[in-house]
Structure 1
């Protein structure tokens, strides 16, 4: 029984909507279909409520299924108008179909002493008859159009109530999901920043940086000063990104040049960075530290020697995406060394997923590692 309920009402939203609509629409429809006999004895009341309840439940499940299909087609809050239009059109068709079925069924079956006829509906509801002859020919039974018009008016009201309640629940769910995504994005961003800071401030990195600086101070003081300036820029940028979901590509590239300066001082001729970005895309945006993670990933997992240099390329495609690639010369696995967990790549993918954007496309091997990154033209608040 529980499985059947979940199959008919798969979401909490649908169960709450049914609980709200069913208690008043079922007895009202039963009364309109049966008339005064519905209230004259318990057998008509209980039997009519049960039958109409089953029919109404089937209709509700059909309406809810249509709503779910439309919602999957237009899931975003910015598509609310399209969702409401398509939902209203589909519900109008479904309502007409089920109403015609109810009237024909009760008129032909005479269930619970129903008196669906012109005279009965005039006495029970005071509706002025119209188009009786036409409807009799269409339905094949003496079912009055006034009944149809009145019942359809009730169904249209129920339809609008259904759409309104559905949108209220759905919008609330979307808002909650949006808030949760923002918190998750914030956590992912902070984790990425923490990972980057840990990498850069680790004793190993500091030792290599200070060792490079020490050798420069004695032999090339001007280069040592430049090294300190670039190092300051790197740490300044790392601290500033704590308040951003997105950063302009031009700013990220400026940071990468500073970061590359530090790496180049250490690796010399073993490392080369080539940037060929179309100026038209410099104002486009991407999650901060994305390029840093990719450059760091390339340096971490590849052999870097003057005789076997690592080439890193950053460019843009004609379709407005950022392409980052490097030649593969993977380091040999050493006993006791833990394999990479690919936290950096996972972090980048999670950011794009949380921003409801296409995920980066990764190509690994055989000779090159490539990643294609979508660029943003809007603020994250507008996405």
Structure 2
């Protein structure tokens, strides 16, 4: 998932807390003198703003780094403890610099008090803890809300994919072609007709189950794709070919369900398939853990423009999953789609 590291709420909290930090530190430094003398009040306020404004936002540097290094909800305790420790060191350094620096410069109205210094560092430790808890609570809530919204978007993308797949299979044109092929097979080759029915049943069964999960193993997708391709091959004959070159180590990797079906459908829909112009679709894995689906380009002379809904669904799913980008190359002589494979233990 693509999550924000420094949020708007962090900035709003900073703008709300800074005036309180200015007042707290000046009172710790000067005591009641800060409010009793206008010259002290004015000079001290200007000085503390110049010191603590950059110091406070400098605290965001380790906070952002920790969110990148430990981004998960289960790591919130570790992130909070580390942030508190680092921020306590940073805040204490600034406070020590103020106390000893003001004494060295003989700042008007300032009298060094070691007891007040110790109390200020103690209170700063407590304040730092509270501020870190507030930041982490809001950050965690925002990440949870973002994850929920992305999960909802992914579910919608899955449902669109299911709908598009079912439309492609249940529309009258597909059923007419499938039943026409089946009718011919029943007379010519009853055994092949039975196999056609079995494969058609497998296709529909898989598609109806596919909405139950966001990811499927490559092995499952390939088994479904072979059934789907059998229906296409029965209609188009040997002019439509499918090749597989899958490394054994990737069979248990994951991809969104129906991804391969959408790519096969896209290839068949937009390319000429003739005896002298066969269409070859190749599915292979690369050494860097990518799935490559490629077909030779022989575009149909059609006035209908491609809506590219199927490709858009695949791209959207990977974007929401945050598992890498889908690369699409549409240049002669091949149309190539490269898809990241997801390791099962990364999910």
Q: Equivalents in 1 of 2:219, 2:273: separation in Å?
A: 27
Larger radius of gyration: 1
- CA-to-aligned-CA distance 1:231-260 (integer Å, 9 cap, x gap): 111111110011111111111111111100
Q: How does 1:35-74 map to 2 (within 5 A)?
A: 35-40=31-36, 48=44, 52=48, 55-64=51-60, 67-68=63-64, 71=67
Return 62-71 or 303-312, whichever deviates more: 62-71
Q: Equivalents in 1 of 2:64, 2:15: separation in Å?
A: 14
Return 255-264 or 311-320, whichever deviates more: 311-320
Q: 2:269 aligns with which of 285, 293, 300?
A: 300
> RMSD value over aligned CA atoms?
2.9
- CA-to-aligned-CA distance 1:78-133 (integer Å, 9 cap, x gap): 665775576456535642553344335533555562223xxxx2xxxxxxxxxxxx
Aligned position for 2:12 = 15
Return 368-377 or 240-249, whichever deviates more: 368-377
Q: 1:375 aligns with which of 338, 341, 344?
A: 341
Q: 2:159 aligns with which of 186, 190, 212?
A: 190
Structure 1 unaligned spans of 5+: 1-8, 122-143
Q: Equivalents in 2 of 1:76, 1:304: separation in Å?
A: 49
How far the C-alpha of 1:151 sits from its partner, in A, is 3.2
Aligned position for 1:137 = none
Q: Residue 262 and residue 70 in structure 1: after superposition, are their counterparts in 2 closer, same or farther (change >3 A)?
A: same
The answer as to whether partners of 2:7 and 2:139 remain within 8 angstroms in 1 is: no
Q: How does 1:1-383 map to 2 (within 5 A)?
A: 11-19=8-16, 21-22=17-18, 24-40=20-36, 48=44, 52=48, 55-64=51-60, 67-68=63-64, 71=67, 75-77=71-73, 80=76, 83-84=79-80, 87-88=83-84, 91-92=87-88, 94-103=90-99, 106-107=102-103, 113-116=109-112, 121=113, 148-332=117-301, 334=302, 337-378=303-344, 383=347
TM-score w.r.t. structure 1 length? Answer: 0.79
Return 87-96 or 220-229, whichever deviates more: 87-96
Structure 2 unaligned spans of 5+: 1-5
The answer as to whether partners of 1:17 and 1:165 remain within 8 angstroms in 2 is: no
How far the C-alpha of 1:67 sits from its partner, in A, is 3.2
Q: Equivalents in 1 of 2:8, 2:260: separation in Å?
A: 40
TM-score w.r.t. structure 2 length? Answer: 0.86
- CA-to-aligned-CA distance 1:27-48 (integer Å, 9 cap, x gap): 3212111123135467766875
Q: Residue 235 and residue 10 in structure 1: after superposition, are their counterparts in 2 closer, same or farther (change >3 A)?
A: closer
How far the C-alpha of 1:55 sits from its partner, in A, is 4.2
Q: Equivalents in 1 of 2:211, 2:199: separation in Å?
A: 20
How far the C-alpha of 1:49 sits from its partner, in A, is 5.5
Return 216-225 or 308-317, whichever deviates more: 216-225
How far the C-alpha of 1:309 sits from its partner, in A, is 0.8
The structure with higher relative contact order (CA 8 Å, sep 6+) is: 2
